[in-house]
Structure 1
Amino acid sequence: MRPDSPARPGRESRHDYAYFRCGTANLFCAVEPKAGWHFVKATSNRKSEAFAESLRDVANHYPDAETIHLALDNLSTHTCRALEVRYGRRAGRRLWRRFTVHFTPVHGSWLNQAEIEISLLSRQCLGKRRIPTLDKLDQETDAWERWANRQRLRIRWRFTVPKARARFGYDPPEFTRSED
């Protein structure tokens, strides 16, 4: 931390405030919005291995599902390759095939219900606190996950296509079919 700058004629004294970063962590979140099921996994990073383990945990929650729809952002680790590296080629591909992956538009995160889930977790669980350790973060997010699942917190999507068109001033052209 830098020392304070004393006051001078025409200028007030200046103080420098700083925080000490004690590390970072990552949270993988998944949500089944209509059922009110929530999944949070705290990891030390967001590398391929942690992503692959998170997908395995989500898949284990749905053992009988033919396909699991998954909305992902465009992070470079969100690939089948991450699962192949972690579990081997055959097992990784088998796990990846359980998912129907939908990548979010690059500038469309506001449409993403996963972003809503992260916002809920952030506001309801973390607040403005700094969590000192990964173990403590894991405990806090596990407690919130259990609470949210007991409450069956659902995401009610209210932003419809007509509302989006009105909000962004988009009026699609009228198309008519020509009859030949």
Structure 2
Amino acid sequence: MLDLYASSWQGEPLGSDEYVISADEKTSIQARCRCHPTLSPGRARAMRVNHTYGRGGALAYLAAYDVHRAHVIGRTEPKTGIDPFMNLVAQVMSTEPYASAKRLFWIVDNGSSHRGQKAADRLTRAFPNAVMVHTPVHASWTNQFEIFFSLVQRKVVSPNDFTGLPQIEERLRAFEDRYNATAQPFQGKFTTSDLDDLLARLDRQTTRQQEESTAPLDT
């Protein structure tokens, strides 16, 4: 995964017709219809959002992020699952330049929508030029899309003050357009060399602890 972020795969650099996609899903974005209008911030006054609200439903936001082009393609669904995720895949794979790509690497976590070898096989059967790459278990934070979702949380969803689900969809589409027009790729600083160094330090520490635990006690 770190190699893909650095534009290589199995020791070989990626070609100009090979792309790396980071994908994820944000579940249950609620439309909280505030019982009283939100007051915009003013001089020496923070935004005021009423604490009581009515529920206007919820939807899931699924999106794919081109790691090296900083381009996002998203969609909303009533809920997450295998079919909604494959709908996202089909949407991306039917869009240029991905439709004619030599290979397209999909970096995903181990969520139920795309978990394990079955999900990888399902993706390849549908799109032979697609390769699924899973993040390590309990390390979904290594998926670059988590950075994008943190932006969505802060700039779109918060404060949660919507008249209904159509307004959420409108805000998400508008944010995608704005992001794609101005964004630059995330600059990751943790490389495979850093990972090798970290694993070596952990191995030395583990070895030292084992030696200390088995050393004879002084009498």
Taking structure 1 as the reference length, the TM-score comes to 0.68
Q: Determine whether 1:100 maps to 2:135.
A: no
Q: Which residue matches 2:88? A: 54
Q: Determine whether 1:76 maps to 2:76.
A: no
Q: Which residue matches 1:39? A: 73
**Local SS of the residue matching 1:97:** coil
Q: CA RMSD in A?
A: 3.4
CA shift in 2, pair 1:44/1:131, >3 Å = farther
CA shift in 2, pair 1:165/1:124, >3 Å = farther
One-letter amino acid matched to 2:78: S
CA contact (8 A) 2:63 2:73 kept: yes
Unaligned runs of 5+ in 2: 1-50, 205-219
Question: For this pair of structures, how many residues does the alignment match?
Answer: 151
CA contact (8 A) 1:42 1:137 kept: no
CA shift in 2, pair 1:171/1:81, >3 Å = closer
2:142 to 94, 111, 118: 111
Unaligned runs of 5+ in 1: 1-16, 174-180
Runs of 4+ aligned residues of structure 1 deviating over 4 Å after TM superposition are 17-21, 79-82, 161-169
Instruction: Write out per-residue CA displacement over residues 46-91 of structure 1, whole angstroms, 9 at most, x where no aligned residue.
Output: 0222111111011122111021111112122226978x9xxxx9xx
One-letter amino acid matched to 2:139: G
Give 1:148 deviation, angstroms. Answer: 0.7
My pick for the range that moved more, 157-166 or 64-73, is 157-166
Q: Which residue matches 1:139? A: 170
Q: Alignment identity in percent?
A: 23
Instruction: Write out per-residue CA displacement over residues 17-66 of structure 1, whole angstroms, 9 at most, x where no aligned residue.
Output: 87654432211121112211112212110022211111101112211102
Looking at structure 1, the residues matched to 66 and 88 of structure 2 have their Cα atoms a distance apart, in angstroms, of 15
One-letter amino acid matched to 1:69: F
Q: Which has the higher strand share?
A: 2
